[in-house]
Amino acid sequence: MQFQNNLEFARQLDAEDSLGKYRKEFHFPKVDGKQVIYFTGNSLGLQPKRTQRFVDEIMTDWAELAVEGHFHAEKPWWDYHEKLAKPLAKVVGAKPEEVTVMNTLTVNLHLLMVSFYRPTAKRFKIICEEKAFPSDQYMFASQLRFHGLAPENALVELKKRDGEHFWRTADIIEKIKETGDELALVLLGGVNYYTGQVFDMSKITKAGKAAGAMVGWDLAHAVGNIELKLHDWNADFAAWCSYKYMNSGPGNASGIFVNQRHLNKKDIQRFEGWWGTKKESRFLMKPEFEPMANADAWQISNAPVLSVAPYLASLEMFEEVGMEALIAKRKGIVAYLEFILHEVEKEVESTFEIITPEDRGCQLSVFLHGQGRSLFDYLMNNGVITDWREPNVIRLAPAPFYCSYEDMFRFGQILKKGILENV
């Protein structure tokens, strides 16, 4: 499609957008009384208006039923989390029994590493991306120390080629082959948080499995953003947070995937608690642990329903819309944003380098040559919520659920003004 940099054109695209009606289903912050242009769905998604109802329902049940709410609330709390499995499985391309919701992301990755990182004297290495999200780096280092291993010997960081901002799949596969039978685990971010690169999860998983390793994915920036087929790709495990593209609220419950082949096993290493034991006999308070036959076996504590409820509200919306429609809109809006950036570039001295490769989801990471932190501050003060990463990168992530084409056009106008005013 031939894009145009004007308001009428942007409004026309919005009028044709089948998801346009969802915009008013979200609460937008305001700056100077005006709804912001929100680019940080990759950090914290906006609050859906219906979420309040889901949370209020639990607050009311708690007030009116107290402990009886566990079994007698309209949505009883004791198995509340089970309602999420089916819709969530669709979002991540899994079977319902392969997913569950529990804890938070880093905690879940640690718990999954307990099961799927089982180093031996020969096979002990972990492949991860260089400069992985810091929490993942701390997790790797502390897991390795826990096993008595030194991160400098056991952690293999995938490097980019000199002068390039992205990882080449061929290089990753080569590194997997090279590490060979020393490789215990491949654990990467499905979408890199800094550059927005989408990894070829199918090919990388296949290579990792062929090397005899476990393969897991940190899907913080992937879930609700790109197409995922965890089951078909044959990944061993994955975990993600729900507060970015899934709009479930700050620090809220995380999801996990455990491949069917690891389910219903008693002999698997796992940190266990009473919510992972069979629900039929859970309240018999027996000493033996009888694992749930699905991913719920990894549940430890009784579910924090106040944090799971917003995730259920969000999944209701994902069910209504479907990933296919979200991805189609995402492709359109990101392409329009890229076009707008190049239009602005023609009218100013500065240049923008989009370091996100073509394999991308919502996020464009833009290196600002000749502009610095003051431009970022200008954007924030003028109603554009974006984020800044050292040394000079802004990350723009227009979430398809609530961002409009008009937002992209208006952003271009504000950006141009900010640069021309030489902030």
Residues that bind ligand PLP (CB under 6 A): 104-106, 133, 135-136, 189, 193, 218, 220-221, 241
Which helix (H) or strand (E) segment holds residue 8: the answer is helix 7-16
Distance of CA 175 to the CA centre of its chain: 25
Cα 126 to Cα 143: distance, rounded to the nearest angstrom = 11
CB of 19 or CB of 191, closer to ligand PLP: 191
CB of 238 or CB of 379, closer to ligand PLP: 238
Interhelix angle 7-16/323-347, rounded to 10 degrees, is 180
**In the complex, what is the shortest distance from the CB of residue 192 to ligand PLP, in angstroms, rounded to a whole number?**
8
Write the DSSP assignment of 376-406 as a string of letters.
HHHHHHTTEE-EEETTTEEEEB--TTT--HH
3-state secondary structure of 291: strand
**In the complex, what is the shortest distance from the CB of residue 187 to ligand PLP, in angstroms, rounded to a whole number?**
11
CB of 50 or CB of 131, closer to ligand PLP: 131
Cα 174 to Cα 340: distance, rounded to the nearest angstrom = 37
Question: Which residues, 6 or more positions from 324, have their beta carbon under 8 angstroms from its beta carbon?
Answer: none
Write the DSSP assignment of 321-359 as a string of letters.
H-HHHHHHHHHHHHHHHHHHHHHHHHHSS-EEEE-S-SS
**In the complex, what is the shortest distance from the CB of residue 213 to ligand PLP, in angstroms, rounded to a whole number?**
20
**In the complex, what is the shortest distance from the CB of residue 411 to ligand PLP, in angstroms, rounded to a whole number?**
23
**In the complex, what is the shortest distance from the CB of residue 221 to ligand PLP, in angstroms, rounded to a whole number?**
6
CB of 307 or CB of 371, closer to ligand PLP: 307
**In the complex, what is the shortest distance from the CB of residue 218 to ligand PLP, in angstroms, rounded to a whole number?**
5
The end-to-end CA distance of the chain, in Å, is 34
**In the complex, what is the shortest distance from the CB of residue 159 to ligand PLP, in angstroms, rounded to a whole number?**
18
CB of 241 or CB of 313, closer to ligand PLP: 241
Q: State the amino acid at position 169 in one-letter form.
A: T
Cα 62 to Cα 60: distance, rounded to the nearest angstrom = 5
Interhelix angle 405-420/373-381, rounded to 10 degrees, is 130
Q: State the amino acid at position 365 in one-letter form.
A: S
CB of 105 or CB of 379, closer to ligand PLP: 105
Residue number with the shortest CB distance to ligand PLP?
A: 106
CB of 220 or CB of 312, closer to ligand PLP: 220
**In the complex, what is the shortest distance from the CB of residue 193 to ligand PLP, in angstroms, rounded to a whole number?**
4
What are 164's two structure tokens? 């390039």
Contact 338, 3 (CB under 8 A): no
**In the complex, what is the shortest distance from the CB of residue 416 to ligand PLP, in angstroms, rounded to a whole number?**
30
CB of 98 or CB of 136, closer to ligand PLP: 136
**In the complex, what is the shortest distance from the CB of residue 241 to ligand PLP, in angstroms, rounded to a whole number?**
4
Question: Which residues, 6 or more positions from 55, have their beta carbon under 8 angstroms from its beta carbon?
Answer: 306, 309, 310
SS3 content of the chain, % helix, strand, coil (to 5): 45, 15, 40
**In the complex, what is the shortest distance from the CB of residue 85 to ligand PLP, in angstroms, rounded to a whole number?**
20
CB of 100 or CB of 104, closer to ligand PLP: 104
Cα 253 to Cα 193: distance, rounded to the nearest angstrom = 19
3-state secondary structure of 407: helix
